[in-house]
Amino acid sequence: MTQAPLTYAPEVADALAQGRPVVALESTIITHGMPWPQNLEMAETVEATIREGGATPATIAVMGGRIHVGLTPEALRALAQTPPAEAMKLSRADLAVCLATGRTGATTVAATMICAHLAGIRVFATGGIGGVHRGAEDSFDISADLQELAQTPVTVVAAGAKAILDLPKTWEVLETLGVPVIAYGQDNLPAFWSRDSGLRAPLRMDSPEQIAAAADMRAALGLRGGQLVANPIPVEAEIAQDVILPVIEQALAEAQAQGIAAKAVTPFLLSRIFELTEGRSLESNIQLVLNNARLAARIAAAMTA
Ligand code: PSU
Ligand code: MN
């Protein structure tokens, strides 16, 4: 039988063998979510932030028929310089095909959760998860990230779902799927670039220890799936809802007029919002990822304590 083709960076293998905290990181945000060279700067700073938090970073990507769990500085740079058209955007549906054909692939939230779980990593930090797209009643475009949260036992730290989505529908689907959506340190759900979506969170927790204990309890109860920790962007980095919402509306209208569909939707919207805000959305996006990395490192430490 074919074995899962995992290649560990030496520091990740050591940390896992010694029971030290490890935080997984995705790579689609590098290849399809941010432009060069800010994508590399973000990826390097996120790794450094996790190290400062006392955990080992494991950025996950597919290269040469192997799942790489932790990338060398050279591999990280090469990935950041790969044009979006040359890297597959991998979710549950395409992971095995990418591996079997030896192509280069960047892992979304869903694929990163699968790989992290195979590698024995229980915590993962990202920017924002995918979710139910606006107009999903016609397009049926619902990110596979939601199904993955329902079945793979990894705690995902994000700044909510990306505000380009239909947020109320996204939270409804997660509730239906039995995924705990936990706002960190506040009563309302954050909305990616803004701290407050105006929507009340189904659950709230105020410490990494509680979040780690809830993950252990799910396992003890035999419940499948992970947890979503919705961590609000730092105040100084947020873009107010009344500023970002019209920009999102304009980007969505352009996507529709140009017939952008399927996997191209999220990358198109993110890059148009970046242009329309003259880079401000990207700076906020980077700051919220760093903030999520800090919290994820603390949760990983609590899970190994
Ligand atoms: N978070 C970001 N930027 C991104 C993403 C997350 O700050 O680009 C990526 C993640 O990999 C997520 C994906 O899984 O966008 C969702 O894509 P889709 O809507 O096509 O499922
Ligand atoms: Mn989609």
Contact 29 CB / ligand 1 (< 6 Å) = yes
pTM of the model: 0.97
pLDDT of residue 215: 98
- Ligand 1 probe mutation, 129, 166, 286, most atoms within 8 A of CB: 129
CA distance 136 to 24: 30
**Angle of helix 167-176 versus helix 144-151 axis, rounded to 10:** 30
Q: Which residues of the chain have pLDDT under 50?
A: none
Question: What's the rounded Cα separation, in Å, for the pair 88 and 220?
Answer: 36
Q: Does the structural domain 1-121 have CATH classification 3.90.226.10?
A: no
Distance from the alpha carbon of residue 288 to the mean position of ligand 2, in angstroms: 22
CA of 142 to the centre of ligand 1 (A): 12
Tell me: the pLDDT tens digits for 178-197?
Answer: 999 999 999 999 999 999 99
Identify which ligand lies nearest to the alpha carbon of 46: 1
Domain with CATH 3.40.1790.10 in the chain: 1-121, 125-305
First to last CA, the chain: 36
Q: Is the CB of 127 under 6 A from ligand 1?
A: yes
Q: What is the DSSP string of 236-291?
A: GG---HHHHHHHHHHHHHHHHHTT--GGGHHHHHHHHHHHHTTTHHHHHHHHHHHH
Q: Whose CA is nearest to atom 10 of ligand 1?
A: 108
Confidence at residue 1, expressed as pLDDT on a 0 to 100 scale: 79
Superfamily of domain 125-305: Indigoidine synthase domain (3.40.1790.10)
Q: Is the CB of 126 under 6 A from ligand 1?
A: yes
Å from CA of 268 to ligand 1 middle: 11
Q: Give me ligand 2 centre to Cα 90, in Å.
A: 11
Residues in the annotated binding site for substrate: 89, 109, 143-145
**CB 142 near ligand 1, within 6 Å:** no
Instruction: Tell me what pLDDT residue 259 has.
Output: 95
